[in-house]
Amino acid sequence: MKTFDPQAMYSEWMSQLVNHTPWQDWMKPATSVAELPVLDVLREAGATINPTVLTQLQTDYIREFGQLWQDFAVSKLPELKDKRFSSGDWHNHAMHSYSAASYLLNARFLMSLAESVEAPAKIKQKISFAVQQMIDALSPANFLVTNPEAQSKLIETKGESLAKGITQMLADMQKGRISQTDETAFEVGKNVATTEGVVVFENRLFQLIQYTPLTKTVHQRPLLMVPPCINKFYILDLQPENSVVRYAVEQGHTVFLVSWANPDASMGDVTWDDYVEQGAIKALEVARAISKQDKVNAFGFCVGGTIISTALAVLAERGIHPVSSLTLLTALLDFSNTGVLDVFVDEMQVSMREKTIGSGGLLPGRDLASTFSSLRANDLVWNYVQSNYLKGEAPPPFDLLYWNADSTNLPGPMFCWYLRNTYLENKLKEPGALTVAGNKVDLGKIDAPVFVYGSREDHIVPWQAAFASTKLLNPQGKNKNTFVLGASGHIAGVVNPPAKKKRSYWTNPAAVGKDAENWFSGATETPGSWWPVWAEFLAEHGGRMVKAPTTAGNKDFVPTEAAPGRYVKVRAD
């Protein structure tokens, strides 16, 4: 089966737009399911569908299409419940209403075809994902000739909206990505990543920031935060009112944070071992030395959780246990269930990456960004195609989307090792199956209580996969692990400050480490943010309260520059 490339899909749309040949032919009502072009794609992929199922789909399709045509003939407008067609322009004009209804009818049956394919689960998932991407791209809302909202705007502005939209489209083509926010409205260190602190250490992989206390006394054991290296750390420090970093400082913790370098060509040889040894392990060493504590509280978010957990397992093999607790937020240790990302990982794709960048080179940040955008294409791609290009609207400022566009590169050897040994072969969960930094990795040897958080609607780290970490960590210890499930997704679920009084979370202490669904069936839902639960966990393992330090660093680790440091300001593009 052909590999789906989201950037190629976007480029193809651009080409079709410029050439005035939209893809609507794919979505015209057919006289039978068999005439739908997607069947050619399925046949090319070697997929088959049970003839009985196909016949039933065809019968249902013809019946629903016939009803749609009859309604149109008597001027009965169809119901359009899809949010893409919520504007009155779609409901007030019969042709546009019919166009949208026909699209939705075809979309529904295209997905029914994909879901009826007789194939192994992974192949079936790939087919469904590729078909869904095609469906999303072919929405009549994505083309000027079939979007009544854009046409109304064109008339109202006497052509100005189209001129502005083309200008914005050409500018984005130069950047190689779609603008999702007004990027001129933000500056790292000025109105995002503003929590006060200083850089106390750096090597080629990271800078270590020590934040300034906001309380008169602090817990004696500091908190070391390891964010993901696939994007910038300031998702944890967007603005004061929604900053995880600032919240931890306000709770009386001396906070250290790893700010990963944005790799350039000089770092094309960096490996996973380097990220563990020269990154996480070195950060632990510095934080312990500055705080004069033998143990710290460790924290890992997303890939940062995978890195810090690997580092702690390596140290455990060396007989070193440097943490009093470990926090993992939406992190994967058991890669049995990787959600929709699984469609991008198979032997063919991993081998291709290994051949091109496995021995040296970089994975460009834009490749990762386009991949993650494709996971929610309607929200993160086509929504902006419609507003920015067809309607000529400038995207409004939004700090989260500014961060989302501030992508990072990854060293090829590190990325390829990570892909093969975790996503493809899932070896990290197997005791002794991997050797990192010269030591066997056994996550079960990490000797510390663990707080694990998952987000219920996370499409990158399914919450059940996050929950699986509770079975790998402290497998023999009772009541040492805590699991909290929050509402919303991978980012919004994490960045949920108590002051906003939004969403909710679930807990079930008695069932941690057991089956995920059984855990949820007995869980208690509580309104509001999960942060206070985490704060209680940290306080329990933070040691006694001591006078807050008046200076950062020490004689061996002298502050060099103010937070957020210069590493985080390096852009991939």
**Residues 256 and 233 sit within 8 Å (Cβ to Cβ):** no
Active-site residue, from 17, 298, 302, 350: 302
Structure tokens at 470: 């509770």
Please identify which residue in the block is written with the tokens 């940062």: 304
Using DSSP's 3-state secondary structure scheme, residue 33 falls into helix
Residues 67, 72, 77, 79, CA torsion sign: positive
Q: Comparing C-alpha atoms, which of 60, 145, 371, 47 is closest to residue 38?
A: 47
Report DSSP state, residue 407. B
Q: Residue 477 burial by CB count (10 A; 0-12/13-18/19+): exposed, middle or buried?
A: middle
Using DSSP's 3-state secondary structure scheme, residue 75 falls into coil
How far from 165 is each of 1, 169, 174, 256, CA to CA, in Å?
36, 6, 14, 44
Q: Comparing C-alpha atoms, which of 193, 207, 197, 301 is closest to residue 237?
A: 193
* 75-78, Cβ contacts within 8 angstroms, sequence gap of 24 or more: none
- What residue type is assigned to position 545 of the chain? M
Residues 6+ apart with CB under 8 A from 47: 117, 118, 119, 123, 127
Per the DSSP assignment, residues forming a β-bridge with 258 are: 208
Residues 6+ apart with CB under 8 A from 413: 268, 269, 270, 271, 272, 357, 358, 359, 360
Using DSSP's 3-state secondary structure scheme, residue 229 falls into coil
How far from 428 is each of 313, 322, 332, 362, 516, CA to CA, in Å?
10, 20, 10, 23, 20
Please identify which residue in the block is written with the tokens 């003939």: 73
H/E stretch holding 56 reads helix 51-73
User: Within 13 Å, how many C-alpha atoms sit on residue 240's CB side?
Assistant: 7
Per the DSSP assignment, residues forming a β-bridge with 289 are: none
Check if 302 is active-site.
Answer: yes
Structure tokens at 350: 């991993």
**Residues 224 and 370 sit within 8 Å (Cβ to Cβ):** no
Residues 392, 145, 139, 367, CA torsion sign: negative
**Residues 410 and 363 sit within 8 Å (Cβ to Cβ):** yes
Number of CB atoms found within 10 A of residue 522's CB: 11
Please identify which residue in the block is written with the tokens 């090829």: 412
Q: Would strands 561-562 and 197-202 be described as parallel, antiparallel, or unpaired?
A: antiparallel
Strands (DSSP E) along 146-254, which ranges?
A: 197-202, 206-211, 217-219, 223-226
**Residues 9 and 23 sit within 8 Å (Cβ to Cβ):** no
Positions marked active-site: 302
